[in-house]
Amino acid sequence: MMRSAIAVAVLIAGTGSASAAEISDGKVKIGILNDQSGVYADFGGKWSFEAAKMAAEDFGGKVLGAPIEVITADHQNKPDIASNIARQWYDREQVDSIMELTTSSVALAVQGISKEKKKIDLVTGAATAELTGKQCSPYGFHWAYDTHALAVGTGGALVSQGGDNWYFLTADYAFGYSLEEQTSKFVKSKGGKVLGSVRHPLSNTDYSSFLLQAQSSGAEVIGLANAGLDTSNAIKQAAEFGIVAGGQRLAALLFTLAEVHGLGLESAQGLTLTESFYWNRDDKSREFGRRFFERTGRMPNMIHAGTYSGVLQYLKAIEKAGTDATEPVAKAMHEMPVDDFFANGARVGANGRLISDVYLMEVKKPDESKEPWDYYKVLATVPGAEAYLDPAESGCELVK
């Protein structure tokens, strides 16, 4: 498939005073690199690019007198393509930082390049906790969520409701293993048991035989350690085979508003899931949600809101540091609290992890939903310190 990566350059403030000596090349350039054509195109996709542009506009289009430019490209979920784009951006196109980075394998690759080139990367779309664990970077940041938070949030909720015996349906690649492993660990630490698991290929369409195996295992909870369309199809087919009606519960470990919308409330109702953002949670989030909706025709999930928050924080850090040079900006980002509609006074750990609250949600029944995109009941708030690994235990060598 020779779908060439599309790079759309949008100049947000065309005429800035390029004389600001503290800003390299006379402007601050942010690259949003993610999947815009594959299974995760709604999960993040071009909507994250819109969120990043909104943040730059809300900041005034300029930082320290220099214009802010946001560009984007499609990495097609392939680490090699993503690495090429990242190198080109850093080496030839004066990109100062790369953000979003959906898909764990891609995020790890690009974070490696960014570390080598001493550039800032901020991940919102990828899940693996490795990004702030063994493979952490002094200039790497991870916003929005990670596999640990998902395991603690959704896993914890179901165990505490009596779901002791688990069976996993796992996507057969790094992300799936990591999610299954962290959730298993958490379930076992709470006294639960893992009865077994089955691995399915990525972008599988038919889950009936896997679901049948899960059904006959007799587990109380079937953990779906996959994402995007894979999870949607598995949930839809689980309903068809009477799994939920038969008393077993589904745990969609990574499922966001975008997928709930695609699946429809009829099939998604009653699911428990974890997100770090819900547009209809309070006034500030509603205000952002509606503005985002006006631009895109859809409500943001935690990836989109997280990308907005990450871009905004990066710009604030440049302002505070008085330069866009990597070291001082990274230092400022580690020191400054994050205070916006997404995170309330949250801090960034020495490993680059944003330690903000995550929310445990339940998907509403069709008759409980009062307006379009009104999909969640917030069941509980999981404090950031519980949701994320303590930086000292994350395995990141930067933490002393």
Question: Does 287 engage in binding with other proteins (CB under 8 A)?
Answer: no
Residues 359, 380 contacting (CB under 8 angstroms): yes
Site for other proteins in 40-69 (CB under 8 A): 40-43, 45
Report the nearest approach of other proteins to the CB of residue 317 (Å).
32
- C-alpha 376/C-alpha 306 separation (Å) is 18
Question: Does 208 engage in binding with other proteins (CB under 8 A)?
Answer: yes
Segment interacting with other proteins (CB under 8 A) among 58-66, 67-75, 134-142, 208-216: 208-216
Indicate the helix (H) or strand (E) that contains 147. helix 147-150
Site for other proteins in 23-42 (CB under 8 A): 37-42
Give CA angle at 360 (337, 252), nearest 5°. 120
Question: Does 106 engage in binding with other proteins (CB under 8 A)?
Answer: no
Question: Does 4 engage in binding with other proteins (CB under 8 A)?
Answer: no
Report the nearest approach of other proteins to the CB of residue 12 (Å).
23
Q: Which is nearer to other proteins, 87 or 236 (CB)?
A: 236
Segment interacting with other proteins (CB under 8 A) among 76-84, 116-124, 253-261, 353-361: 253-261
- C-alpha 315/C-alpha 59 separation (Å) is 8
Question: Does 369 engage in binding with other proteins (CB under 8 A)?
Answer: no
List, edge to edge, every strand of the sheet that includes 338-339: 338-339, 344-348, 354-355
CB count, 10 Å around CB of 295?
12
Segment interacting with other proteins (CB under 8 A) among 54-62, 232-240, 346-354, 379-387: 232-240
Q: Which is nearer to other proteins, 39 or 63 (CB)?
A: 39
Report the nearest approach of other proteins to the CB of residue 280 (Å).
19
With the CA atoms of 386, 158, 207 and 193 taken in that order, what torsion angle do they form, in degrees rounded to the nearest 10? 90
Helix runs in 246-354, H state only: 257-263, 265-268, 283-296, 302-321, 326-335
- C-alpha 352/C-alpha 143 separation (Å) is 9
Cα 331 to Cα 31, 139, 141, 266, distances in angstroms: 20, 9, 12, 47
Report the nearest approach of other proteins to the CB of residue 103 (Å).
13
Please report, as ranges, the residues that interact with other proteins according to CB under 8 A.
3, 37-43, 45, 172, 198-201, 203-206, 208-210, 212-213, 215-216, 228-229, 232-233, 236-237, 240-242, 246, 258-259, 261-264, 266-267
